[in-house]
Amino acid sequence: MKDKPVIELRDVWKIYDMGEVRVEALRGINLNVHKGEFVAIQGPSGSGKSTAMNMVGCLDVPSKGHILLDGHDIARLSESQLAQVRGKKIGFIFQKFNLINTLSAQENVMLPLTFLDVPEEKRKQISYKLMETVNLGDRTDHKPNELSGGQQQRVAIARALAVDPEILLADEPTGNLDSKSGETVMHFLEDLHRKGKTIVMVTHDDNLAKFADRIEVLKDGQIVKSLKCYHKDGKNYCEEK
């Protein structure tokens, strides 16, 4: 498990220059995520955790420093290459689900495969299987607005898994859900982790962060603490490294 990191952030800075105001969202972050790890990035709002997440997900590029994905620096990639990296290697799960409302649940799951030019039959097969995995096999034709929040987030998880990505990125995945739906979603993530998926999750919630193997605590754009977690008797414990 502790071989070469899948994601590596080396002295990453993100600076927003808004005229007279200069906002340093990230200030020299170093972070390694290894294959099969479940890492939580935790911090209060404004701490830069979402910015860090966007960097890891190749949605944004750093102002300074390097991000290495499988050892390759993403700064060297073109916009289209970045899109392809996102499409093949990364699955996103957002707080607000971010499904496309005009498409049915199954079509939403199929969409990332469409961008990879997977043949329709195969797309249907994969997406249906995933809909069943997230226990929504009977909701394939429903539009997002016909589904509950929990169901929508499960569709989003199915979509994130469609391309069988190496890494799953979850940004406050239970933030918009009631506690029961939130629990279901967390169990799905736990299960995926157990099956070997690399997961990076952003949260402000201590209890959710404890599901991870490791917690990186972010404050004012810097990692201020790293915690290691272990799970015993159905409970999660974390301690400073």
Partner 1 sequence: MFKDFFKLAVENLTHRQLRSWLTVIGIVIGIAAVVALVSLGKGLQYTVDQQFVKIGADKITVTAKSASQGGPGIQDSGITLTTNDLDVVRKSSGVHEAIGPLQKIAKIEFNKKTKFSFIRGMPVDDTRIVYDDTGMYDVEYGRTLKEGDNNKIIIGPELAKESNFGRQIYVNDKIHINDEEFTVVGIIKTGGNPGVSSIIMMTLDDARDLFDEKEEVSMIMVKIYNAEELDQVVENIKKDLRRERNVKEGREDFTVESTKKFVESFLVIFNVITTLLIGLASISLLVGAIGIANTMYTAVLERRREIGIMKSIGAKNSDIIQIFLIESSLIGFIGGTIGVLIGSGLSLLAEKLIETFLGEGFFQVFLPWWLLLGAALFALVIGTISGIFPARQATGMNPVDALRS
Q: Would you tell me which residues interact with partner 1 (CB under 8 A)? A: 54, 57, 59-60, 79-80, 83-84, 86-88, 92, 94, 98-103, 111-112, 114-117, 120, 159, 163
User: What are the respective helix, strand and coil percentages of the chain, to the nearest 5?
Assistant: 35, 30, 35
DSSP 43-105: --TTSSHHHHHHHHTTSS--SEEEEEETTEEGGGS-HHHHHHHHHHHEEEE-TT----TTS-H
DSSP 148-189: -HHHHHHHHHHHHHTT--SEEEEESTTTTS-HHHHHHHHHHH
User: Smallest distance from the beta carbon of 130 to partner 1, in angstroms?
Assistant: 14
- CA 177/CA 189 separation, integer angstroms: 15
Burial bucket for residue 79 (CB in 10 Å: 0-12, 13-18, 19+):
exposed
User: Smallest distance from the beta carbon of 112 to partner 1, in angstroms?
Assistant: 4
Nearer to partner 1, 60 or 166 (CB): 60
User: Smallest distance from the beta carbon of 144 to partner 1, in angstroms?
Assistant: 11
Nearer to partner 1, 68 or 103 (CB): 103
DSSP 8-state class, residue 146: G
Nearer to partner 1, 100 or 224 (CB): 100
Nearer to partner 1, 45 or 101 (CB): 101
User: Smallest distance from the beta carbon of 169 to partner 1, in angstroms?
Assistant: 9
User: Smallest distance from the beta carbon of 79 to partner 1, in angstroms?
Assistant: 6
Nearer to partner 1, 80 or 179 (CB): 80
